[in-house]
Amino acid sequence: QNCKSFYRCDDFVVNDTKLGLVQKVREHLQNLENSAFTADRHRKRKLLENSTLNSKLLKVNGSTTAICATGLRNLGNTCFMNAILQSLSNIEQFCCYFKELPAVELRNGKTAGRRTYHTRSQGDNNVSLVEEFRKTLCALWQGSQTAFSPESLFYVVWKIMPNFRGYQQQDAHEFMRYLLDHLHLELQGGFNGVSRSAILQENSTLSASNKCCINGASTVVTAIFGGILQNEVNCLICGTESRKFDPFLDLSLDIPSQFRSKRSKNQENGPVCSLRDCLRSFTDLEELDETELYMCHKCKKKQKSTKKFWIQKLPKVLCLHLKRFHWTAYLRNKVDTYVEFPLRGLDMKCYLLEPENSGPESCLYDLAAVVVHHGSGVGSGHYTAYATHEGRWFHFNDSTVTLTDEETVVKAKAYILFYVERQARAGSDKL
């Protein structure tokens, strides 16, 4: 049979047939993996040729360099997942926590310890996102293979996140939020029969603050990515002020309209949009329009008002999402504007509610990873990631990993930026 037709129809098969036909198809696809992977690798390598002439492959024809990063196989438009996983794997505090968790064996008997293609079944609820995420992170920096196939993690994602079933291209930011939210929920309740106390007992090297995060309402997800915004609304009629505190795991920033033109990042004429412009637009005082009238409790009716965001608490890892996709009529268009961003020393002090209470370096952030979308639309194109590890920058393009340089990184049209607090980076060895 033509197995490509099973890929293109995009149907999600929940239960196998009595004759095990779905499993036979998977086995046949597994035999075709190597040839398909070769063609995919050739296509994706074109992106690498445009990045830098001095890029050096970590593994070529079996030879390796001193640092052996591992790529992630593309299982069928899963580059959105691969880019996020590679970025998170290079956030040291976050990655180390999961790598030190005790292993959980999800399969027994003949399949124990073996990589297998899963036959999806509604009755198979014995899955753990935390465990498969842990396994993936452990595999990425072992250096024992050039590429790791995350099909077990992808299977769990399909089970617990129905929005990502099938093989369509997905939004990397949306996937990141779903992933972090589900990791947080699973850690709150323990996972696969392992209680929170057992996890903490096995991880004696964790700092006291992170232990408290798991014992309380929070987890390592919110302990590292969690910040707090203050939303301040003022009625323009009576002057009543309303304040609301909102937790966040990332900040979604608009690219200011004056910069939304298809100009090249190398074009000299006209101003260049910077990350500070996007942050300033997010935190500037804004007058709400007629469609967003504020219900004033003093006036007892909807009134014109102003709104302003302050950051009440900065996270250890500041995740900034640039809103590159916008709905216009029935289409979701991409804003392809280049946004200038710093590799080091992003100062967030001026956006704080109480900057005087912050330490000298607690507001300074250094870039750890950046996700890039190549293409014109959210449902198409390709995702790659840049990340720094032990002082070197790497480009992660699915299965292929190359060394790159800072000059190449800063030219990227960023979609998601991961900044690590300089104070947190200095204390990461305490985890």
> What are the Cα distances from residue 356, in Å, to 307, 315, 349, 352, 360?
23, 17, 9, 9, 10
Residue in 79, 95, 235, 319 annotated catalytic: 79
Residue in 118, 182, 382, 395 annotated catalytic: 382
In 101-156, where do the E strands start and end? 147-148
Question: Phi and psi at residue 3, in whole multiples of 5°?
Answer: -70, -20
| Cα gap 324→334, rounded to integer Å | 5
Residue 233: count of CB within 10 angstroms of its CB: 17
| Cα gap 292→289, rounded to integer Å | 5
> What are the Cα distances from residue 22, in Å, to 13, 30, 198, 343, 365?
8, 12, 38, 47, 49
| Closest of 415, 408, 419, 385 to residue 84, by C-alpha | 385
Give the Cα-Cα-Cα angle 100, 78, 55 (nearest 5 degrees).
80
Annotated active-site residue 326? The verdict is: no
Annotated active-site residue 299? The verdict is: no
Task: Give the three-state DSSP class for 6.
Answer: helix
Catalytic residue numbers read 79, 382
